[in-house]
Structure 1
Amino acid sequence: MSRSTGSQRPQTAPGEEERAAVSALSHAEKIESARNRALKILTATAKSRHQLEERLLKAGEEPEIVTELLDRLENVGLLDDAQLAAMIVRTRFSERGQTRRAIAQELRRKGIDGEVAEEALAQVDDADEAGAAVEVARKKLRQTASLDRPVRIRRALGALGRKGYSSGVAMQAIQSVLAEEPAIPDDGGSTEDDLGDTGPGDDWI
């Protein structure tokens, strides 16, 4: 009677290997499906991890598959919240003149981590915001040059308020721009005192 030597492979029940192969293939197919969907979303517009996760789950992808895919996308650099946050801060500030406060709200809505957001917002300081406020005020006051001064001030305050500037910063910016304008002869109408008496008005948000 012969005796077998060496280790023997554990026997598997009939069909077990086939089921394992099908299970592995099914997982790979799910990852591929989620990957294709994610890349299509990212091609249209940059998303944070939180935003992409929401979109994939809403589309019916399984939570475990989504988590694994998002980790993979982060590892290869296709998903980067820090890079996205930095880009949002740069564009919102330089192109729209928004404040850090307003931009921070947008970053929170996108689900970007607080520490990541703070690091991105550090690109802008108080002096940057003060300068941007002057530019916003100058643009609005130029657009309303034909109107009475109180109306111009009120509308400039509204424009600055909607971008997140505090009333104090907004008023300083408006004063700075108005000081550059030629003096208007006193005809009994509005005066420099109007600047101090004019409140935010209906335009302030």
Structure 2
Amino acid sequence: MDPAELPPDERRKKAKEICFDLLAVRARTKDELRQALKRKGFDEETSETLIGKLDEAGLVNDAEFAELWVRSRHANQGLARNALLAELKRKGVDGEIAVQAAGEVDREAEEERARELVRKRMRSLGNVDEQAAIRRLLGFLARKGYPQGLAYTVIREELREFGAEAAMLDDAIPD
């Protein structure tokens, strides 16, 4: 049924149910809720009024969402700051809030997580030649949002630790 055909009280109640159902699954940004209500056919006034009330009640907070998202996605998915920023922006988080949240992942934490990812991935590479391993590892870290210089350094050091030559990367990056 089209929400516009519902009486105002029913329309607000239905919109509230949709938002609560979404929030029961995981935290959401205001923009995610706004888009969900729009897809369901709710008018802007109903959506904005409800989202304002949810914000006032502390049920929707983009800054808290961004903080939790960064922590979770960095720890569980191994995403770097750049990838985290892109995800937060896609979720409708304000640019300043996104930058502040992603700033929690400092260079040291990013490098350590990249090392963990490379070590784990190297175990699954098996008998792949060094050039192919480097190419695959660089692509892997790039897809996770790691800067190229950091990726080269980490891969070179981890390959040496693993016992490979990694000579190909010596000329590629300044120390």
- TM-score (ref. length: structure 2): 0.86
**Residue deviations 1:63-119, cap 9 Å, x none?**
111111101111111111111111110011111111110010000101111121122
Residues matched between the structures, number? 167
Question: CA 1:181/1:63 → structure 2, altered by over 3 Å: closer, same or farther?
Answer: closer
Alpha-carbon distance between aligned partners in 2 of 1:74 and 1:115, rounded to the nearest angstrom: 18
**Structure 1: where are the runs of 5+ without partners?**
1-25, 184-190, 199-205
Task: State the secondary structure of the residue aligned to 2:28.
Answer: coil
Deviation at 1:147, TM superposition (A): 1.6
CA contact (8 A) 2:37 2:47 kept: yes
Residue 159 and residue 127 in structure 1: after superposition, are their counterparts in 2 closer, same or farther (change >3 A)?
Answer: same
What pairs with 1:15-164 in structure 2 (closer than 5 Å)? 26-164=7-145
Distance in 2 of aligned mates of 1:74 and 1:60: 21
Instruction: Give the 4+ runs in structure 1 shifted more than 4 A.
Output: none
Query: Does the 8 Å CA contact 1:150/1:195 hold for their aligned counterparts?
Result: no
Q: Which residue does 1:195 correspond to in 2?
A: 169
Give, in whole Å, the separation in 2 of the partners of 1:119 and 1:133: 21
Superposed displacement of residue 30, structure 1: 2.5
Cα separation, 2, equivalents of 1:76 and 1:82: 15
**Is 1:169 aligned to 2:158, yes or no?**
no
Flag structure 2 segments of 5+ consecutive residues without an equivalent. Answer: 1-6
Structure number with bigger Rg:
1
Q: TM-score, normalised by structure 1?
A: 0.75
- How large is the RMSD of aligned CA atoms in angstroms? 2.0
Greater mean deviation of Cα atoms: 105-114 or 31-40: 31-40
Q: Which moved more, 1:49-58 or 1:29-38?
A: 29-38
